Amino acid sequence: MPVGTQGTVKAVTKDQLLETKPQIILGNTYHLYLRPGVEVLSYFGGLHKFMNWEKPILTDSGGFQVFSLAQGKNKGGKHKAEVILTEEGVKFKSHLDGSWHFFTPELVVEVQEIIGSDIMMPLDVCPPYPVSHTTAKDAVEKTIRWLKRSKETKKNNWQALFGIVQGSVYEDLRKESALKTVELEMDGYSIGGLSVGEPAEEMYAMTEVVVEILPQDKPRYLMGVGTPENIVESVDRGIDMFDCVMPTRNARNGTLFTTFGRVNIKAAKHKFSEDPVDPECDCYTCRNFSRGYLRHLFNAEEITGMTLATIHNLRFYNRLMEKIREAIKENRFQSFKKEFYSKYKS
């Protein structure tokens, strides 16, 4: 899922985004709640109409953003982050204007019903890494209690509500969280609290533990992941859905993903290159422009460079998922994985 945090995928227009062939995009309840606000979203009839987007939208609950604020990760924020966690919900100070707000599981669902997202995420407790077993256990238990309240609040049958499995890197807590979440019979299941700084091996190990418990006939979503390698490895372990700012954020910084690994397009070695970013890519950027031209745009600090790079990275990720789906349908995923690693160099 390309990340469209504030009702837009950064640096590209709707038509440019559609050409990269996404199936669904992601928005964020925390950011949309603060700006433009629920009154504006309600007035325009929800996020689909507001941003003129006909395809599905998944909205994160905003819980991760709130707890990121508590960890001092409010990059770009104008006000000091303050967060107070209670049984009823989480009180936080807006990074925009310093105003106080209170997210409850019920409010987060109600806001997402106004947003009109096709898939909603419940408010959960996302602890940092590393974290003690005691703190992680408390997060698991509170997340389950909040999920029950979220499910009771949900009114619209056409909106899906996923459960979120927490537990940090503790196998016993991951199992407990997964079992209790599955008991609630959600529309889909997410694995949260990973890709937050732990080693990739820990992420894969916890994913394996959880996937063994989650139903095979429901979507399984690994939140906030990740690199092309992370995606291939996680699909191999049974994951269906991903989101990450990596393709768009890296594009704006001049790092492009290709069949053969990452490319720093600003590097001097591309100055006279007539080659496309990726000879195997069918995106608008690769069909029309050279590495030399993109390098020039970035070094000249032209906005168009960010746009062309973003188009390419989004298409690369969507092509990767297309090839993965095709390989699974043809029962040759393991050979695809081997071929992927034979070309892709980290």
Last residue of a domain, one of 244, 277, 312: 244
Domain carrying residue 190: 124-137+152-244
Distance CA 194, CA 202 (A): 9
The active-site residue, picked from 217, 236, 243, 275, is 243
Cis peptide before 122 (omega within 30 of 0): no
- 129/217 same-domain check: yes
pTM of the model: 0.96
Helices (H), the chain: 14-19, 29-34, 38-43, 47-51, 63-70, 105-115, 133-153, 171-183, 200-211, 228-236, 246-252, 284-288, 291-299, 303-329, 333-343
- 280/320 same-domain check: yes
At 75, is the pLDDT very low, low, confident or very high (cuts 50, 70, 90)? low
- 316/216 same-domain check: no
The total number of structural domains that make up the chain: 2
Give the contacts of 187 (CB within 8 A, at least 6 positions apart): 119, 160, 161, 162, 218, 219
At 82, is the pLDDT very low, low, confident or very high (cuts 50, 70, 90)? confident
pLDDT of residue 333: 98
305 assigned to some structural domain: yes
Which burial class, exposed, middle or buried, applies to 279 when counting CB atoms under 10 A from its CB (0-12, 13-18, 19+)?
A: exposed
In angstroms, what CA-CA distances link 314 with 45, 59, 142? 28, 19, 35
Q: How are beta strands 255-258 and 220-222 bridged, if at all?
A: unpaired
The active-site residue, picked from 15, 60, 172, 240, is 60
110 assigned to some structural domain: no
Q: Is a pLDDT exceeding 60 seen at residue 289?
A: yes
- 133/213 same-domain check: yes
- 163/222 same-domain check: yes
Q: What is the pLDDT of residues 200-216, one digit of tens each?
A: 999 999 999 999 999 99
Do 203 and 225 meet the contact criterion of CB atoms below 8 Å apart? yes
- 259/319 same-domain check: yes
Q: What is the pLDDT of residues 108-135, one digit of tens each?
A: 999 999 999 999 999 999 999 999 999 9
pLDDT of residue 330: 98
Do 128 and 71 meet the contact criterion of CB atoms below 8 Å apart? yes
- 232/130 same-domain check: yes
pLDDT of residue 73: 62
- 220/267 same-domain check: no
Structure tokens at 324: 């993965």
22 assigned to some structural domain: no
Q: Left, alpha or beta for 72 (phi > 0: left; psi -120 to 50: alpha)?
A: left
- 225/131 same-domain check: yes
- 163/238 same-domain check: yes
- 193/130 same-domain check: yes
Alpha-carbon Rg for the chain in angstroms = 20
Q: Is a pLDDT exceeding 70 seen at residue 74?
A: no
Do 182 and 146 meet the contact criterion of CB atoms below 8 Å apart? no
Q: What is the pLDDT of residues 138-180, one digit of tens each?
A: 999 999 999 999 999 999 999 999 999 999 999 999 999 999 9
At 65, is the pLDDT very low, low, confident or very high (cuts 50, 70, 90)? confident
**Single-letter amino acid, residue 107:** L
Last residue of a domain, one of 190, 213, 244: 244
Distance CA 154, CA 164 (A): 16
117 assigned to some structural domain: no
Q: What is the mean pLDDT of the chain?
A: 96
Last residue of a domain, one of 244, 273, 308: 244
119 assigned to some structural domain: no
Q: Is a pLDDT exceeding 90 seen at residue 4?
A: yes
65 assigned to some structural domain: no
- 259/236 same-domain check: no
Give yes or no: 138 in active site: no
Share of the chain above pLDDT 70, in %: 97
29 assigned to some structural domain: no
The closest of 282, 256, 281 to 267, measured between CA atoms, is: 256
59 assigned to some structural domain: no
Q: What is the mean pLDDT of residues 23-39?
A: 97
Distance CA 161, CA 172 (A): 25
Give yes or no: 60 in active site: yes
Do 81 and 74 meet the contact criterion of CB atoms below 8 Å apart? yes
The closest of 158, 195, 162 to 178, measured between CA atoms, is: 162
Looking at residue 210, which CATH number applies to its domain?
Answer: 3.20.20.120
